[in-house]
Chain A
Amino acid sequence: MSTIKLVIVSGSEYHVDASASNETIRETLKANFPDVGTAEIKTGKRTISLDGVDTEVETVEFVKKAGTKGLDGTELAELLNHIPAMVLPHLPRQQLTPLLRDMLNGRLTCQDAIAHMDSLIVALNAAHVSSPTTSHEGAALCQTLDALPAVAAPAPAAW
């Protein structure tokens, strides 16, 4: 058996010392391949040419997980039933339609939202557009600056 292992990760192949453990290889690769941290390890054998000699080597392939398995129907129902109540801030400085205000205040059910979906989306888009409070922010900043005591500018050291 060869003194090297063939490591396969993200389509690239590397030779490492055969004595290196798979977990040590994983730790080393994680710096450049973050997905390796959760990847599945598949081992096998392959014959490759080493210095012109056909040699059978052990292969260690890190296979990225395609996606996290979703929860099933029962778990999902449980998840939805256990969503904690949320206290939202009262944000009076924005122009909101009554429907949107109801939704933001938690007074709309999903069924209500489905019934008024188009109006809600229009109202949300309008809130995007009507949200430029730059002048208010500017005014607030100026108020703060106005409160600062006036100090004479230092004279230049020399003319």
Chain B
Amino acid sequence: MIVQYYRPESMDEALELLARKDLPVYPLGGGSVLSQPTAKRYAVVDLQRLELDQIVQDAKGLHLGATATLQALVDSASLYPALRNAAKRETNFNLRQTATLAGTIVSASGRSPLVTALLALDAKLVWLPGEAEIPLGEFLATREARAGGLLIREVRLPVGSYLGFAEVARTPADVPIICAAVATWADGRIRAALGGPGSAPRLISDGLNSEEAEDAAYNAYSHLSLSSNESKNYLQNTSRLLVRRLLAESKSG
């Protein structure tokens, strides 16, 4: 249950509030997760006044502000088309108006299309205070254990690479059963990520060899101990197929 609500005017004020130790304090983006009732007592720091919603590109790459809404990503012509599509597939139109990029990353399930695409693109999270830059994959692996008091300022993405996204779902707008994203760079680097069963999407390959990426996709769910409605056999074959298609697409595109 939210027992305290703050709307700071400055980043310093926000960080000070987030550093409180007397009760859990969480940054509040769109509120679609934190607004839901729970028995746990906590405070929220609403980030809406901090102008963290900018989407800009410079020499360092793409900078996606933490509170950029998913709809802003969908509407941003400067982004990779596949990333925009993945943002669109994340949730419905209404929720995309308020759900933020950072909130989506923090609460992402294993089947998150957007986080799968960001993983493939080697997204980095920039944290405050300190401007620490942490790879998205590292954050996802440790997010349950991370200390409070921190705030994602932005997500950084490289420019100039190619991103493909593919999925299998029961219907066109359903949560994917499996989704895959493959990013390729001019130097031959290939990063592949899968979304599916499990607590978070997973990076399956980062290297130069496309066959390795396909094999990694096949093996990603080979030790499936996760709750899944699909068989291991299906997940393995479909994962490999989607990555194979995306690799072919990247070569032809």
Q: Is chain B found bound to chain A in the same assembly?
A: no
- On A, residues with C-beta under 8 Å from B are none
